């Protein structure tokens, strides 16, 4: 190995290593960043498409452009605020421009992209305006409306919450009656492979189809994953609110039950007005 | 213990020929006779968590082999210039640069895989094999043997990891690479998947058994 | 407060960094032959984790993550690709510090730990904790508690293992299984035991 070096040499060497490493990394990050961003977005869009009933094979065999085009052709996006009033992106754009995002770039983006950026900067913006996050947060909720041929055939809402290990994210699609589930999909999860991770398997997601989130009285009941087989434990209209569980993944299921019903509850007032409007 | 052992078997001078006997030995020894995992006790850490299915296992093996080969080579090239006072931190910087590169590339070109491996790609940095081989071999050898040593150890690591992944997915989920291989007829007769295998303890037990078989076959006993 | 206790319990028992996530295995296997060495190393790990978790949290929060540089006037800069390298640098520096302190005050322990003291730097448990606290979205206090209790969980596992291995000297184990083999099997059984904690919510 080398002879003892003087301190000066040590410093020079350290600086050279630092600079070399950071230049390489910064270069790679800048080069690959656009591709990574597309991947993240593609993953989300694919899941929305799967939730309304496109098959996974169909979505995965399509090129990214085809997937985005499919989404753009079949979906429109609506935003509601905490009071369930319709909202647009004006406020978000204003706020993001104060963070020196170029207006042109924001104008080119879709609602969901702006909301994603806005949500990631919410904490920062709240601190800027000297409000707590709860006070500042406009509580925007995004709804993807599926209109494959002109008329509305499904409403898709994002769901998100803790499973056993970490956050699970997914989408639920509801029929136009806003009661029957059309489909469900999960992405981004870190559940145990072979146990909790089976939530992404088809048989599990399939059983949500046709289940109802409302009691006959109109109360919100959500859909609950039971331990074991649902049809052994429930019958009649109760069975429409329950699905079979995954053995060995009780806690993952418990997590999903919690965040699914919590998310549906926050959307419920808005859905109620939609149902009334017919 | 492990690193000290590894230092002993370092060959100080490599012959100038590129594919001589010695080079071949450097490359193939770690596959079985001097396996980094089972005999040098290096790199067991982060790896086992991803072996419950074969697909992430393969990606992990490829990522680690690339990082290990690369880091051994780079460190060996600049080994004469690294001041010994700060050598650990310099090695770690080089390793983590390589790992971050791999991570970024996975995110851009194999998004599904990078999602599956999540933080475990980052943990390659602290995989003891990488630093262990850098310290034990690359710091004392020329670039070419170091590269071979890195490649050999990466592949040796992959051999064991794939064995564990194979066993865990086959017995734990009845499938290989996600395809069902245990026929439905067997399940109808009452066969059930071994739930233990997909859980962490299954990996330890399987690895323990692999080590047993290996030590029996190579007759390297510990007291 | 209840949340902090919940985080601590989870990190020590339910999600024990060693037995549930396989992190920190190398030094665990190599340094668990004697209880004294195991305890010494465990304490060193707790210390390093207790310092690096909050420090890395600060680095991530005020330098690296998306929008972290807002206090400098760059709200759109995202340096998170430098995460690994910054975390590991902090850890390596801390380990160097522990090494110097130990050399001065507990030279016997310093000798006993030997090569494995610098190897704490590559103890996956330490980097793993820093990365996990990021994905879990903890705040500053929570991260500190999480770091300390992860370290404590690691100490618990290694001391338990050392105790078992001391007793193991008296048992007649098949030749090929002696040493690493049987240690792996025992680790598996211990992990099985720790798994019974899963599902405890506080």
User: pLDDT for C70-124, tens place per residue?
Assistant: 777 777 777 877 888 888 888 888 888 888 888 888 888 788 776 667 777 777 7
Distance from CA of C78 to the nearest CA of A (A): 10
By C-alpha distance, which of A202, A64, C180, C127 is closest to B209? C180
Tell me what ipTM this predicted complex has.
0.76
**Cβ within 8 Å of A, C 95-114:** none
Q: Can you list the positions of beta strands (E) in B126-222?
A: 175-176, 179-180
Contact of A180 with A230, CB cutoff 8 Å: no
CA distance B23 to B32: 16
Distance from CA of B183 to the nearest CA of C (A): 29
Q: Per-residue confidence at A80, pLDDT binned at 50, 70, 90?
A: confident
Going by their DSSP bridges, the two strands A141-146 and A154-162 should be labelled as: antiparallel
More confident residue, B34 or B181: B181
pLDDT at C105: 87
pLDDT at A55: 81
B97 to chain C: which residues are within 8 Å by CB? 85
Structure tokens at B6: 């590894």
Is C131 within 8 Å of B199 when comparing Cβ atoms?
A: no
The answer, yes or no, to whether residue B186 has pLDDT greater than 90, is no
Is B104 within 8 Å of A32 when comparing Cβ atoms?
A: yes
The answer, yes or no, to whether residue C147 has pLDDT greater than 60, is yes
Is C131 within 8 Å of B93 when comparing Cβ atoms?
A: no
Is A10 within 8 Å of B90 when comparing Cβ atoms?
A: no
Give the model confidence (pLDDT) of A105-136 as tens digits: 777 777 878 888 888 777 778 877 787 777 77
Q: Per-residue confidence at C152, pLDDT binned at 50, 70, 90?
A: very high
| C66 close to A (CB below 8 A) | yes
Is A1 within 8 Å of B79 when comparing Cβ atoms?
A: yes
Distance from CA of B222 to the nearest CA of A (A): 32
Q: Stretch C2-17: mean pLDDT, rounded?
A: 85
The answer, yes or no, to whether residue B9 has pLDDT greater than 60, is no
Distance from CA of A60 to the nearest CA of B (A): 11
Of A1, A188, A195, the CB nearest to B198: A195
Task: Count H helices and E strands in chain A, helices first.
Answer: 10, 8
Distance from CA of A151 to the nearest CA of B (A): 34
Contact of B57 with B64, CB cutoff 8 Å: no
CA distance A36 to B108: 5
pLDDT at B72: 92
CA distance C93 to C89: 6
* pLDDT, mean over chain A: 83
Is B96 within 8 Å of C84 when comparing Cβ atoms?
A: yes
Of C121, C176, C187, the CB nearest to B204: C187
CA distance A48 to A56: 11
| B64 close to C (CB below 8 A) | no
Give the model confidence (pLDDT) of A2-27 as tens digits: 455 678 888 888 888 888 888 888 89
Helix C140-168, helix C124-136: angle, nearest 10: 140
Give the model confidence (pLDDT) of C157-170 as tens digits: 999 999 999 988 88
In degrees, rounded to 5, the angle at the alpha carbon of residue C63 between the alpha carbons of residues C58 and C68 is: 100
């Amino acid at each position: 190995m080398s002879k003892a070096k003087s301190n000066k040499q040590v410093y020079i060497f350290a600086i050279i290593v630092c600079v070399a490493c950071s230049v390489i990394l910064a270069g790679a990050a800048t080069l690959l960043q656009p591709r990574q961003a597309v991947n993240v977005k593609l993953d989300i869009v694919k899941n929305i498409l799967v939730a309304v009933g496109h098959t996974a094979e169909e979505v995965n065999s399509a090129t990214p452009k085809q997937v985005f085009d499919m989404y753009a052709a079949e979906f429109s996006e609506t935003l509601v605020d905490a009071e369930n009033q319709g909202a647009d992106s004006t406020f978000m754009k204003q706020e993001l421009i104060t963070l020196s995002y170029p207006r042109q770039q924001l104008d080119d983006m879709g609602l969901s992209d702006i909301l994603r950026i806005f949500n990631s900067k919410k904490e920062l913006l709240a601190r800027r305006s000297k409000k707590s996050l709860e006070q500042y947060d406009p509580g925007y909720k995004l709804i993807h409306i599926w209109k494959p041929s002109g008329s509305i055939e499904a409403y898709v809402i994002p769901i998100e919450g803790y499973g056993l290990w970490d956050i699970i994210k997914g989408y639920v699609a509801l029929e136009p009656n806003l009661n029957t589930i059309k489909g469900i999909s999960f992405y981004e999860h870190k559940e145990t492979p072979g146990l909790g991770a089976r939530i992404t398997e088809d048989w599990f997601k399939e059983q949500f189809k046709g289940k109802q989130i409302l009691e006959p009285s109109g109360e919100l009941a959500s859909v609950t994953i039971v331990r074991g087989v649902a049809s052994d434990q429930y019958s009649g209209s109760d069975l429409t609110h329950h699905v079979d569980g995954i053995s060995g993944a009780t806690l993952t299921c418990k997590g999903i039950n919690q965040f699914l019903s919590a998310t549906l509850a926050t959307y419920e007032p808005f859905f109620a007005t939609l149902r009334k409007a017919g | 213990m492990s690193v000290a052992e590894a230092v002993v078997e370092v060959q100080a001078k490599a012959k100038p020929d590129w594919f001589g006997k010695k080079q071949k030995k450097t490359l193939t020894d770690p596959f079985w006779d001097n396996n980094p995992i089972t005999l040098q006790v290096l790199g067991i850490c982060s790896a086992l968590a991803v072996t419950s299915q074969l697909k992430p296992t393969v990606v992990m093996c490829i990522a680690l082999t690339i990082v290990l080969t690369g880091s051994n080579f780079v460190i060996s090239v600049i080994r004469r210039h690294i001041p010994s006072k700060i050598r650990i931190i310099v090695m770690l910087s080089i390793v983590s640069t390589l790992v971050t590169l791999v991570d970024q590339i996975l995110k851009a070109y194999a998004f599904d895989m990078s999602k599956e491996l999540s933080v475990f790609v980052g943990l390659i940095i602290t995989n003891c094999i990488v630093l262990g081989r850098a310290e034990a071999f690359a710091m004392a050898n020329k670039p070419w043997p170091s590269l071979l040593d890195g490649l050999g150890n990466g592949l040796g690591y992959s051999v064991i990891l794939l064995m564990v992944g194979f066993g865990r997915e086959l017995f734990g989920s009845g499938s290989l690479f996600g395809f069902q291989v245990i026929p439905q007829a067997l399940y109808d007769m009452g066969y059930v998947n071994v739930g233990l295998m997909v859980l962490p303890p299954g990996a330890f037990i399987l690895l323990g058994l692999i080590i047993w078989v290996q030590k029996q076959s190579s007759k390297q006993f510990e007291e | 407060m209840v949340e902090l206790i919940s985080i601590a319990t989870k990190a020590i028992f339910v999600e024990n960094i060693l037995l549930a996530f396989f992190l920190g295995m190398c030094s665990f296997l190599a340094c668990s032959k004697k209880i004294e060495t195991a305890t010494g190393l465990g304490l060193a790990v707790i210390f390093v984790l207790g310092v690096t978790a909050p420090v890395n949290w600060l680095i991530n929060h005020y330098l690296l993550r998306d929008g972290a540089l807002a206090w400098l006037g760059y709200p759109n800069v995202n340096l998170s690709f430098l995460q690994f390298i910054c975390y590991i640098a902090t850890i390596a520096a801390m380990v160097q510090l522990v090494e110097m302190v130990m050399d001065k005050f507990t030279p016997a322990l310093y000798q006993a730990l030997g090569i494995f003291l610098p190897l704490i730097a590559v103890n996956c448990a330490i980097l793993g904790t820093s990365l996990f606290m990021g994905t879990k979205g903890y705040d500053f206090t929570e991260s500190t508690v999480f770091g300390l209790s992860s370290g404590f969980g690691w100490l618990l596992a290694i001391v338990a293992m050392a105790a078992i291995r001391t007793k193991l000297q008296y048992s007649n184990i098949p030749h090929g299984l002696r040493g690493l083999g049987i240690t792996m099997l025992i680790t598996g059984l211990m992990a099985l035991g720790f798994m019974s904690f899963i599902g405890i919510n506080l």
